[in-house]
Structure 1
Amino acid sequence: MTTTSKTTDPRQLHDSPKPLNLSNPIRLAFLGGARAGKSAMISKLLLGNFRETYYPTTHLNPNLFNYEPSSEKARDILQGKVLTSNPHLHLPASIKDNSTLVTNNKSIFKKNQYYTSSSLGTSPILVELIDTPSYNPDKIVPYLEASLYTNLDKDVLHNLANEPRRPVSTSPLLVASGASELNGDINGYFLVYSAIPSFAPPGYDENDAGGLPKKHTFNLLPSIKAALDDAWEEYVTFKENWKRGQEEDVFSFKNALKNFWKANDSSIQETASAQVKPKSKSPPIWIVCTQVNSDLASSQLISKGKQLSIEWNCGFIAIDCLNDIDEVLSLMIRDIVLGKKS
């Protein structure tokens, strides 16, 4: 099979404009089971090609690059144009196209915190794509308050610091503090599964009622989604409690000086009553079905993914890395930009 790769003249790297979000990259995590196509997607987006031989990803692998949409469809997406019909695309409510939405948000596509766009195209966007090992429900911890992979103080680790470090066999989806690529700065998640029902003949008692292996990449999607929901609920609660503690410290300090600040007593009470903040929503999720052009691909499996995205009110797209797939990034970025606006 022949694949085309993107070629870049090194001399052009110094002449190209700097990304608007140079200090604030869009960070996207790819989650899914074995052979889902996560690494192939990232390689295709970064290099324009991918390896056909399967090599399991064994550790988190961040990839930082300047994203410049190469296809007209991807440029149209970032410029806020109405999207053409695509049977393998389901848009979430946040970016569903209609005349009112596009009109009201027209200016945000011309300039936002991540890029600028005009009739000439869009500015480069700094994006970090985070490849992850195959998702294993038995070895996933949805949320950790502090990473175990870095040297943290005892006041953070508490009882965890009372004994020597041991090898960690579990992986967190979200870490509040400490060294971890999967922290609270993630802007979006791709949940990836394959349209191929099986790469090998099934054995006895290995299939579910739908005929798929129990650990098929599609069957893992609900577990990943549930773990992400739990993780972000814990994370937002942690951040709220942390902020509330800071507010209480400030309130106590002001209360100690009440003889000097009597005039501001009403504002102090307002501060105390405003400690409970509404929870923020988790980053957008897109379900991506890969290998749709394979002779082994199942149209029913593709439809199931689309139906799942309707139930979850998230985005869905079916792709094949044999084709140009940069619209996947543009759709996610558009979702993120509109989410920031709302």
Structure 2
Amino acid sequence: MRKADVPLALTVGDPSGVGPEIAVAAWQAGDGAGVPPFYLLADPALIEARARRIGAEVAIAETLPEHAVQHFGRALPVVPLYARHLDSPGQPKAANAAGTVEAIDRAVADCLAGRAAAVVTCPIAKKPLYDAGFRFPGHTEYLAHLASRHTGSEATAVMLLAGPELRTIPVTIHIALAEVAKSLTTELIVATARITVADLRTRFGIQRPRLAIAGLNPHAGEGGAMGMEDLAIVRPAVQMLVAEGIDAIGPLPADTMFHPRARAGYDAALCMYHDQALIPAKTLAFDEAVNVTLGLPFIRTSPDHGTAFDIAGKGVARPDSLIAALKLARQLADNDRQAAAA
């Protein structure tokens, strides 16, 4: 199989959320929406039950990754999990955690072995995973752990939210706001920026990425009047990046970074904490933004929304963000392949 024909590996996410039904809807959208071939790592019985529940007519082909493409045009290719899943929409259960994690593990293994071109993940919920003994803050951190285990060296994963008009990166991710200033360091900002620039070049095809770096405090600290972190931590990071030849500016007041004229001046915005990055990205493109994990030896994308337990099983969940994640994963994989061949 040529690398260009290798399918994407899609994980089912938390089966009590909308993952199963948006996966079905994405397959149903098919060529008309430009959906590239993928296979779903899931319990086939769960997918059949959820499809019946929402009134979706879908043929399912239980298969291996290497045969997924040949099935894709006529049936949803499902690579069965060893763990079973309960179909309990809107009611997350710790009993489903084993299958949720297994799907992630196997998707990464398939990608590293060349059986999949990229990993695309449906949303997970942390509470049922924690209740089952999962000890990672979230998807991003767990993927970094898997990458580190594979390569033998510590991987630093960087979260990027990519939409049609804006790309944002939170330097600190799944931590409480009260912990952000304690966790933020010049070294962390520089490392995040370096990974971002490297992947923007190889996977997004941007030859000279331009970074806008947000300040932590209101008005980027206003010369120290609203906190010293921007002077002591953020500004030295920007200076180091510029000295390395990276096109970076900042620290910038976050409240003026995201209007159209400002966005035209950069390719990605580095933000100091989770909501500073995700609020503008989701506001501009809630149904189209994609969560991309940078800094890994494989490509990973995901919808930018959560499990949506409140609407799970009702047949109203839209697959737009998942379709965007699948299409972007295919594009990034093709760009990465071309960069490696150059």
| TM-score for the superposition, normalised by structure 2 | 0.30
Identify, as 1 or 2, the structure richer in helix: 2
Larger radius of gyration: 1
Question: Of the two structures, which has the highest relative contact order with CA contacts closer than 8 Å and spacing of 6 or more?
Answer: 1
Return the TM-score normalized by structure 1. Answer: 0.30
